[in-house]
Structures are given as structure tokens and as C-alpha cells.
């Protein structure tokens, strides 16, 4: 069985040479005709990006061919850290984007607010090594949580957004999903300025599913998010600050008002504090 035969229901495969496109069936024909097997050429043929987003892989939004009014975000997979300096955008094996699609579909089936995958393109460039791109439906007008809080929204709307973010992360954990890169940029806030805010969790690269996310594992994942908030504040100054009230608002929504749950997370974060000090030293050095 080929690796792409493990795709979720509702996806089709289109192969051209060394390139495999795994595409949601309703988009397959138009995307293949528009040249999605070569993502860079596809973006150029669309007249360039409609929008550019922050993040590794330089995500860009482009119109979805054959579907007026719809846009998709195309993200090139690129490694970070020391491995990234050595391998750049090369991956051993072709499964990385397929795994992300499968986790995203798992989330959608269980009511977790996340972006809808449109497909992936995987190209073999050397024996065993691949370059990959992922396409997801764009969420129009969304701001990542860090950017949203930096706009200094009205207090009531700010609280609603933080509650939505806490509820979204809780839904993800309840669905048995661990997000290894849970940070403020991977939570999008919708409806900024309208008072009717909601949140979605994005970028499920390297996420995995389990039968159950135990509280210690969930608290470790939340600590990853807290570290992101601390880093955002350290690098962004007063405008990027999250208050104790912000944190409590998020945690009340995450724990659905359970004081014991909030205390358990607080105790974990206290134990995690020494590692946060080390991270702050590296941020300062950067």
C-alpha cells in the first residue's frame, strides 16, 4: 500500500512524475488544472499572493481556482532550529503533511474549531527526501492571538476572545489532540471589532492524537502556550503584555470554571518556572 492510501475519506490523489497531490475532492479538478503540482508557479499564475502571513514557511493566501470568493493559505514546510539550518525544507519521508491533514480532520469530526484542509503537495527531490506544501481554507479577517491583544481591544471583547481561545484549546484536548507548537500565533481570533469574537486553533504540524489527554500532559501543553505569551511580552514590550486577569479569563474557560483545575495548572506552571527563566535568557541573547 502506498503512503498516500492512508489519506482520510473525501480526498483524492493526483500524481505527476515525482510529485503527489492529495486534494479534497471538491477542489481536485480545478487545482490540478491550475498547476498545483508546482506550488510556486501556481501562486505566480494566480497573480501573486492576496495576503502574506507571519510564520515559518512564509504562508500566503491565494484565490481558490474555480471557487469564486474562496481563498486558501498555502504554507511551505520548513524546519526550524539547528536541524533547519542543516536540512532547510527537506524532510525524510513523505508523510508529514498527510499526518497534519489527518489530525485536522480528526479535530473537525469532533467539533474542534480549526481550519479546513484543502490538500497537500509532496515532491520527492532526492531518494528518501521530500519537499512539502499544505493548503488550508483561509479564515478571512482573522488575527493571531498576539496580534489581536496588541490592538488593545475593549475589555469586554478582550474577555470574550480569551474565553473563546480557552474553550478552543480545551476542545482540542478533549478530542485527544496534543499540539506540540501551541503558541499565541497558532490561535486565531475571528470577529475583532465586532464584539462577537471566536477562536480557532491552527498549524497542526507534528500534532498527534491519543485516546485521552491526561491532565499532566494538558498542563504541559498549556505551559507551552504560557511560554509563548512570556516570550511575546519580552520581545514586544508593554503593548504585548498579558495580565493576570487575561490568564485567569483563559483558564476559567479552559477549565469550565473548575477552581481545582485552575489550581492544578497554576501548580504546574510554578514548577515550570525555572525553565521559563532559562528561556528568557535565550530571548535576551537573541
Q: Determine the Cα–Cα distance for residues 35 and 210; give it in Å rounded to an integer.
A: 36
Q: Determine the Cα–Cα distance for residues 24 and 74; give it in Å rounded to an integer.
A: 14
Q: Determine the Cα–Cα distance for residues 262 and 264; give it in Å rounded to an integer.
A: 5
Q: Are residues 163 and 257 in the same domain?
A: yes
Q: Are residues 36 and 126 in the same domain?
A: yes
Q: Are residues 149 and 133 in the same domain?
A: no
0.75 exceeded by the pTM? yes
Give the residue, 272 or 187, on which the prediction is more confident. 187
Domain extent, residue 204, equals 143-285
The CATH number of the domain holding residue 222 is: 1.10.510.10
Q: Are residues 60 and 190 in the same domain?
A: no
Q: Are residues 119 and 158 in the same domain?
A: no
12-70: pLDDT as tens digits: 999 999 999 999 999 999 999 999 999 999 999 999 899 999 887 889 999 999 999 99
> Which of 137, 161, 187 finishes a domain?
137
Q: Are residues 231 and 250 in the same domain?
A: yes
| Arithmetic mean of pLDDT, 271-280 | 62
Q: Are residues 115 and 181 in the same domain?
A: no
| Residue 276, pLDDT score | 61
Q: Are residues 58 and 27 in the same domain?
A: yes
Q: Please say if 205 is a catalytic residue.
A: no
| Residue 108, pLDDT score | 98
Q: Considering the candidates 181, 203, 205, 246, report the single residue annotated as catalytic.
A: 181
Nearest in space to 254 (alpha carbons), one of 282, 284, 202, 213:
213
pLDDT above 60 (res 278): no
Q: Are residues 221 and 155 in the same domain?
A: yes
Give the residue, 128 or 195, on which the prediction is more confident. 128
Q: Are residues 68 and 182 in the same domain?
A: no
| Residue 54, pLDDT score | 82
Q: Are residues 131 and 171 in the same domain?
A: no
Q: How many CB atoms lie within 10 A of CB 238?
A: 6
Give the DSSP letter string of 60-79: EEEEPTTSTT-EEEEEE---
Q: Determine the Cα–Cα distance for residues 134 and 36; give it in Å rounded to an integer.
A: 11
Which residue is associated with the grid cell 520548513? 78
Q: How many Å is the Cα radius of gyration of the chain?
A: 20
| DSSP three-state, residue 135 | strand
77-135: pLDDT as tens digits: 998 777 767 788 999 999 999 999 999 999 999 999 999 999 999 999 999 999 999 99
Q: What are phi and psi of 77, to 5 degrees?
A: -75, 130
> Which of 98, 120, 137 finishes a domain?
137
Tell me which of 5-9, 78-82, 142-146 is least confident: 78-82
Q: Are residues 187 and 242 in the same domain?
A: yes
> Which of 89, 109, 137 finishes a domain?
137
What's the total number of domains in the chain? 2
Amino acid at each position: 500500500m502506498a503512503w498516500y492510501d492512508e489519506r482520510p475519506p473525501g480526498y483524492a490523489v493526483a500524481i505527476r512524475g515525482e510529485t503527489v497531490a492529495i486534494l479534497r475532492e471538491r477542489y481536485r479538478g480545478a487545482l490540478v488544472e491550475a498547476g498545483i503540482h508546482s506550488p510556486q508557479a501556481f501562486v505566480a499564475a494566480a497573480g501573486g499572493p492576496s495576503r502574506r502571513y507571519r510564520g515559518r514557511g512564509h504562508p500566503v493566501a491565494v484565490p481558490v481556482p474555480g471557487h469564486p470568493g474562496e481563498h486558501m493559505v498555502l504554507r511551505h514546510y520548513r524546519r526550524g532550529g539547528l536541524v533547519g539550518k542543516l536540512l532547510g525544507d527537506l524532510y525524510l519521508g513523505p508523510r508529514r503533511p498527510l499526518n497534519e491533514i489527518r489530525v485536522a480532520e480528526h479535530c473537525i469530526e469532533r467539533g474542534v474549531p480549526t481550519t479546513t484542509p484543502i490538500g497537500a503537495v509532496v515532491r520527492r527531490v532526492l531518494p528518501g527526501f521530500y519537499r512539502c506544501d499544505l493548503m488550508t481554507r483561509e479564515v478571512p479577517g482573522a488575527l493571531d492571538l498576539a496580534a489581536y491583544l496588541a490592538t488593545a481591544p475593549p475589555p469586554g471583547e478582550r474577555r470574550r476572545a480569551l474565553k473563546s481561545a480557552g474553550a478552543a484549546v480545551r476542545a482540542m484536548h478533549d478530542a485527544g489532540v496534543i499540539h506540540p507548537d501551541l503558541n499565541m500565533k497558532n490561535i486565531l481570533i475571528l470577529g475583532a471589532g465586532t464584539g462577537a469574537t471566536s477562536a480557532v486553533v491552527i498549524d497542526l504540524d507534528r500534532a498527534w492524537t491519543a485516546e485521552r489527554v491526561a491532565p499532566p500532559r494538558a498542563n504541559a501543553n498549556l505551559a507551552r502556550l504560557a511560554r509563548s505569551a512570556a516570550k511575546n511580552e519580552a520581545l514586544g514590550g508593554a503593548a504585548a503584555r498579558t495580565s493576570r486577569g487575561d490568564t485567569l479569563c483563559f483558564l476559567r474557560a479552559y477549565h469550565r470554571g473548575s477552581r481545582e483545575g485552575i489550581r492544578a495548572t497554576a501548580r504546574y506552571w510554578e514548577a515550570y518556572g525555572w525553565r521559563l527563566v532559562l528561556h528568557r535568557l535565550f530571548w535576551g541573547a537573541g
